[in-house]
A and B are shown apart, each in its own frame.
Chain A
Amino acid sequence: MVALANNVVVHLARHKVSTAAALVVLAMIVAAVFAPWLAPHGPNIQFDNGLTNSGLPVPPGRVFPLGTDLMGRDLLSRMLYGARTSLVVGLAANAVAVFIGTVLGVVAGFVRGIMGAAIMRFTDLMLAFPALILAIALAAILHPTLWIVIAVIALVNWTWVCRVVYTQTIAISEREYIEAVRSLGASPLRVVLRHLLPHLVPTVIVWGTLGIATAVQLEATLSFLGVGVQPPTPSWGNIIFENQAYFSTAPWLVLLPGIAIVVVALAFNLLGDALRDVFDPTSRSRS
C-alpha cells in the first residue's frame, strides 16, 4: 500500500500533465466542498444591479467576476455551488453506470452461453426502456432529489458500456494466448483479472471520463422534467440548459460552465491514464 502510494507520488512528480490534472480534480472537489466559503455571494441572491435596465444579464466585470445570469445572480457563486450537484452526478452516477456495465459485459462475454445471452437481451431491454417517461412518472410521484437522477442516469448509461465491453471481452477471449493460459489450467477468475481486465481499462477510462460530460448534461434534462434539483439550486448542466438560447447575447452563461465540464472530464481522463500507468507499468509501452 505504501509502495503504491509512493508509486503514485513518484509518477506524478515525473509527469507534469498528470500533476496538473490531479491538481484540477483536487481544485474542483475543494471548490464544491468549500463553496460556501469560496463563493463571493449566495448562489440564489438576485441582485438588482445584476440585471441591466432591459432585464439582461451583466457580463463579467469587477462586481461580478464571471457575470450574472438571467435572474441577476452571480455566475461564479452559482458555478461553485453547481459543482456540488454536477460532480456528484458526473462522478457517482457515471461510476455506477460504468461499474455495472463493465461487470455485466465481462460476465456475458466471458461466460457466454445462456447466461451471456440473457445478460445481453436484458441490456437490449434496458436500452429500449423509456427512461424519460420513467423520470416523469417518478417526478409526479416522488419529491425531487438528486438520488433519483443518479439512479436514472446509472440505469440509462450502463447499457452502452456493457455492450462495448461485451464485444471486446469476446474478441480478447478468442485470442490465442488467452486460450493458452486457460489450457494451462488457470482459474477463470485469474484469467479475467490478469489477462482480460487490463485490456478493458482503456474502455473503462473512455466511458468513465466522456461519460462525466454526458451525465452532467443528462442531469439538466432530468431536472427540467422535474426529478432532479429544482430551481434555484444550480448545477453546471442546468446553467447551460437554461441559458443556451441566450448564448449569442450572454455567451459567458454557456461557455463558462461548458468549459468547467470539459476541464473536469479531461482532467479525469489524464488522471485515468496516469493511474493506469501506475498500476500496470507495461501499459506504458502500449500507449
Chain B
Amino acid sequence: MLNSVPKSTRPVRRVAAVVVAACLLTGFGAAAAAPKRGGTMTVSYQNDVSTLDPAIGYDWQNWPMMRVLFSRLLTYKPGTTDLTTDLAQSYTVSPDGKTYIFKLRPRAKFGNGDSLTADAVKYSYERVVDPKMASPGQAFFHSIKGYDEMVAGKATHLSGVTVVDPLTVKVELSQPDATILQVLAMNFGDIVDPAVAKKYGKDFARHPMGSGPFMLKEWVPGQKLVFVRNPYYFEKGLPYLDKVVFDIGQDPLVALLRLQRGEVDLLGDGIPPAKFVEVTHNPKWKSQVVVGHPLETSYLTMNTQMKPFDDVRVRRAVNMAVNKKHIVRLINGRGHPTDQVLPPGMPGYDKNYKGYRYDLKKAKALMKAAGYANGVSTELYVYNTDPNPRIAQAIQADLGHIGIKVALRSLGQAQVISAGGTPKTAPMVWSGGMAWVDDFPDPSDFYGPILGCGSAVKGGWNWAWYCNKDIDALAAKADTLAQPNEVQERLALWRKVFGAAMHDAPWVPVFNEVQYTMHSKRVAADPANAFSDPGVFPFNYARIYATDGK
C-alpha cells in the first residue's frame, strides 16, 4: 500500500504486518514488570497528520493513530498477525463462503457515549464504498454484494450488508473472497459514529469519533495532536496511558536529540539515518532501540515494453549484476538482501527459492547474447529523498559493469509515480520510498496491483508493464480458493505465480527493509513488541505504558 501523503524525510510506508515479533534489542522482554496505568507519552513526527478519517487515511503515520481512535469487527491479536474478534463478539461463515454473520459486543459505545449498533457498521462500510467519498479503500470491498451498483451511483446502499438486529450484521459476498476478513480488519473497516460523521461531513477528518481506546481531544495544525483515554472503551484496563501527545513539525534529527534529553518518548519517524550507526553502537542508547520488519520489498522495475528491457536476457543480466549486499551496506545494514517478490513472513514466501545470483560473467554473456555487447544507454527514475538517490547511484555503477549506461532522473515522488505509470516513459524505476508494503498479510496483494496485466495500464502501479496471461490465470484461480482447508493449495499456487514471474524477471528484488526507532526509558510496552506491533505497524499506542504510572 502506498500512503497518499509523501513524506519528505523518510521512505513511505504503511504496513499492517511484520515478519518476526520484533523488539530484539529492547530490555522489555519476559522480565518486564506488569504494565501500569496512567501517565502521558510524547511522540514526535515531522509532518502534520494528513487526516484521521478512516475512510481516507492510508499512510504509515495516521494508520496506527486511527487504529486506536476506532475499533472494527476484527483485528489482530496484540503483537501478532493472527486475526481475532474485536467489536464482533463472534461470527459465522456459511458453507459456500459467501455469507458472514457477525454478532456485536453488547453495550459497546463511542467516545461520546453514543451506542454502537449494527446500523453504524452498515453506515461505515457504505461510507467507504460511496463514490462521493473517493476513498482509497473502496476497491477492497469489491466482493460485497451490491458494490458495483453503489460504486456506479445506481444505489445509495450496499445491498450485501444487512442489519439483522441492533447487534447482528450480515455481510453477503457476490463471490467467495479469501481476503474479506483481512479487509474488515483494516482501518477501512473502522466503525465511525454515524451521528458525528453526518454532522461534520467532510470535516470528520478533523473531528473523528470512534470506539477505540483513545479519542482525539485537540488538534493544533502543524503543532500537536492530543489523544486522551476513551472512558467508554470496551476492553477493561486499556489503554494504559491517560494521554498521548503528538508533537508535530520537527526534523527527526532534532527529535532524537530531544528524546536523549527526555523531552520526547517515542520517535515517530524512526532513528534518522545520519545518527543510526552512532545510536545503535552506543551502549547507553542501544537498549532503547526498537527493530521492526515491515512486510516490504524494495525493488527495481524494468519496463518490459521498452528497449533494451523488452529482452528477457537483459532483464536477467541486470538481476545478476546488481550487488545487493553493497546496497544494504550503503544503508548501514537497515535491510536484508532478497531475490524474490514476497517478503519473508508473508504467507507464500518461498524459503527454498533460488533466484538470480550475483554473477557478472554470466550477466555479460547474457548482454552479449541479447546483442548489446557494445553497451546500451537507459534511464533510471528515482524518488529524490535519501537514501534512494544513493541506492540508484550504486545500481548505476553496478550496471556500468555490464555495459548498461544509466542516466538518473531524481524527482519528487508524485512525478516518479506518474512516470512509472505512463506508457514507454520510465525504462527503470527504483521503488524506494514508494515500495510495496502490504495492506494485509496475503500474497494476492503483491501480484495484481504491481505485476498483473490489469495494472499494466496508464496510471497503474505495474511499472515493469509486465503482463503474462498464463500467470494472470493462475493468480485468478488462487483467489477463488477461499475455504480454510484450501489454504495450503492456495499458497502453493501463489509460490508458482511468483516463481514464474521472476523467471521472466520484470523486477530486481533488492532488499527487505528493516526499520529502527527509539523510545525513552519512561515508556515500555506490553506485549514488548507493541513498539513495532505487526498488526498495527509500527506502534500499538494503546499498549504502551509509562513506567512512572500507577
Contact = CB atoms under 8 A, between A and B. Distances in A.
A/B: CB atoms within 8 Å of each other = yes
Interface of A: 44, 46, 51, 53-56, 70-71, 136, 139-140, 144, 223-226, 230-232, 242, 245-246, 248-249
Interface in B274-301: 274-275, 277-278, 281
Contacts of A226: 384, 409-412, 415
Given A231-B389, A245-B273, A249-B275, A55 B330 contact: yes
Q: Which 7 pairs from chain A and chain B are nearest by CB? A: A245-B274, A226-B411, A55-B332, A246-B274, A55-B329, A230-B408, A54-B277
B330 A71 contact: yes
A42 B313 CA distance: 31
A231 B393 contact: yes
Contacts of B394: 46, 71
B409 A144 contact: yes
A286 B275 CA distance: 51
A245 B272 contact: yes
B393 to A, nearest CB: 5
A225 B281 contact: no
B377 to A, nearest CB: 12
B86 to A, nearest CB: 40
Contacts of B397: 44, 46
A224 to B, nearest CB: 6
B332 A56 contact: yes
B215 to A, nearest CB: 36
A149 to B, nearest CB: 14
A229 B384 CA distance: 13
B386 to A, nearest CB: 7
Contact of A245 (B277, B386, B390, B392): B386
Nearest to B385: A224
Contacts of A44: 393, 397
A232 B409 contact: no
A143 B277 CA distance: 37
B253 interface: yes
Contacts of B412: 136, 225-226
A224 B410 CA distance: 7
Could you tell me the dominant secondary structure of chain A's interface residues? loop
Contacts of A231: 389-390, 392-393, 396, 408, 410
Interface in B68-91: none
Interface string B390-406: 10111011000000000
A232 B332 contact: no
Could you tell me the dominant secondary structure of chain B's interface residues? helix
Contacts of B330: 51, 55, 70-71
A71 B329 CA distance: 10
Interface size class of B (residues with CB under 8 A): 20 to 34
7 contacts: A54-B281, A55-B333, A230-B410, A231-B389, A231-B410, A242-B389, A245-B273
Interface in B322-336: 329-333
B331 A55 contact: yes
Contacts of B393: 44, 46, 71, 231-232
A54 B332 contact: yes
Contacts of B333: 54-55
Contacts of B278: 249
Nearest to A136: B412
A55 B277 contact: yes
Nearest to B418: A140
Nearest to B381: A226
A44 B397 CA distance: 8
Contacts of B409: 144, 226, 230
A222 to B, nearest CB: 12
B195 interface: no
A226 to B, nearest CB: 4
Contacts of B281: 54
B407 interface: yes
Nearest to B281: A54
A51 B390 CA distance: 13
Contacts of B277: 54-56, 249
Nearest to A70: B390
Nearest to A244: B274
A242 B386 contact: yes
Contacts of B329: 51, 53, 55
Indicate the member of A55, A71, A232, A245 with the most B CB atoms within 10 Å: A55
Contact of B415 (A46, A70, A140): A140
Contacts of A230: 407-410
A141 to B, nearest CB: 11
A231 B386 CA distance: 12
Given A136-B412, A144-B409, A225-B411, 17 more contacts: A46-B393, A46-B394, A53-B329, A55-B277, A55-B329, A55-B330, A71-B393, A136-B415, A139-B411, A224-B384, A226-B411, A230-B407, A230-B408, A231-B390, A232-B393, A249-B274, A249-B278
